[in-house]
Structures are given as structure tokens and as C-alpha cells.
Amino acid sequence: MRYTWLLFDADDTLFDYPKAEARALQWTFEQVGLSFRADYLPIYHKHNSQVWRELEQGQVTPLERFRLLFADIGVDADPQVFSLLYLKNLARGSDLIDGAAEVLRQLSGKYHLGLVTNGLADVQRPRLESSSIGPLIEKVFISEEMGAAKPSEAYFDLVFNSIGNPPRQEVLMIGDSLTSDMLGGIHYGLHTCWYNPAAKTTDLPVTYQIHGLNELIQLLG
């Protein structure tokens, strides 16, 4: 199949989100005068995953993850203040997944490259701009700016309107998330490539699976 557009998810597909997240959480605890403990991180992950699942359905705001975290660990802190600081710290985390920069350099010029992310503009844009892949990405689609999020059809409608409504069979959706990237792409009639470094299993009819980003080069021929 000859694709004209490759749509990449951002976090955990191109960006090393766990690294950025862990540092941002520790820095923010320290900035508000609280001691940070390593066991706070898995508790945060639990609440963050829950909140982002609900966010995809438009049910909550990202602030809710800190309310839940503080209630769980017995910390008296202002979630609003903490969230603003955390997002500023997270925006500094532009570390990439191994191989991401080289793969995008090889694909740039052969395909149009787009970034499709459920996230906040004040976090995602600074990270992209300070990274080596920023100049390689032709279009950036951030859910907060668009008023819709993956996996909704409304989100992909906005993406396709912006890229000139190419035939859907010419667009490949690449990402790690089954619930937003793969499900969204499948429902929209796109070919999908599941970035699955942990070798998990799924019943979703994804078009391709890769365990390392470098496999994209061979897959695309």
C-alpha cells in the first residue's frame, strides 16, 4: 500500500512520556514544598490512566488526576496550583523514544508527517518545538485546540479537513494506544499500525504491528 500521510501519536509513540512524567512529578512536589516518594508514581499512574480514559469520553478534566492522587496519599495541596506547575515541568520533557528521530528523518520527504495527540497545547507544543523532530512534522493536531479528541470521528474529520481530505486508504495511523489511536483509526476507515513494544495482544483488527519504530522503514518499503 502506498501511503501519502503518516499520522503519529505523540506520547509513548515518539516521545518518552514516562521519563518526562516522572521528572515533572518529582520537580513539582519539590516546588510546592512537599517531599516526593518513589511510591507516589505508580499511584499517580493509576489515577492518570483512569482520568485520560474518561477524558477521551469528555467526562472530566486533567485536574481530576491530582485531586485523586492527593486524596489517596493523604497530602493537603491545591490541585489547581499543582497542575499548573506540573504542566510547565512536563513541557520541558522532550526526550524521544529510541529511534524516533532517525525513523522520522528517513520518512520525511517521502511522506507527509502529522502528529495527532490527545493533550494540552501548552505541554505538547513546547516539547515538540524543543525536540529534534519538530522541523520534520508538517501538521500538528492537539485535542485541546481542536475541541475534540481521539478516538472520536469529529477529531479525525478535523484532521482530514486540514490535510486536504486524501483517500482514507492513503493514510496510516501509528500509535501505541488501542483505545484512542487504533480504535479511532479503525472506526474512521484508516489502516493502523500498532506500536507494541511490550508484545501485548489485542482482538482489534489492526493492520500492522511493530515492536520497534525502526520496523516502520521496512514495513513501508
pLDDT in tens, 93-131: 999 999 999 999 999 999 999 999 998 899 999 999 999
Cell 528521530, located at residue? 101
Q: Please list the residues that pair with 194 across neighbouring strands.
A: 175, 209
- Global pTM reads 0.89
Catalytic-role residue among 9, 11, 176, 181: 9
- Mean pLDDT of the residues in the chain: 94
pLDDT interval class at 64 (50, 70, 90): confident
| Neighbour tally for 100: CB within 10 Å | 20
> What does the domain layout of the chain look like in residue ranges?
5-16+95-220, 17-90
Answer yes or no: is pLDDT of 55 > 90.
Answer: no
pLDDT interval class at 208 (50, 70, 90): very high
Same fold, 5-16+95-220 and 17-90: no
Average pLDDT over residues 21-34: 95
User: Among 15, 211, 9, 2, which residue's Cα sits nearest to residue 127?
Assistant: 15
Answer yes or no: is pLDDT of 56 > 80.
Answer: no
The DSSP H or E segment spanning 115 is strand 112-117
Among left, alpha and beta (phi > 0; psi -120 to 50; other), residue 191 is beta
Rounded distance, CA 94 to CA 15, Å? 7
CATH topology of domain 5-16+95-220: Rossmann fold (3.40.50)
Sign of dihedral through CA atoms 18, 57, 60, 83?
positive
| Residue 9: active-site member | yes
pLDDT (0 to 100) of residue 59? 65
Q: Please list the residues that pair with 209 across neighbouring strands.
A: 194
DSSP line for 126-188: HHHHTSTTGGG-SEEEEHHHHT--TT-HHHHHHHHHHTT---GGGEEEEES-IIIIIHHHHHT
pLDDT (0 to 100) of residue 50? 85
User: Among 10, 2, 5, which residue's Cα sits nearest to residue 175?
Assistant: 10
Q: What tens digit of pLDDT does each residue of 149-187 get?
A: 999 999 999 999 999 999 999 999 999 999 999 999 999
pLDDT (0 to 100) of residue 18? 92
On whether the 17-90 domain is CATH 3.40.50, my answer is: no
Reported residue count of the chain is: 221
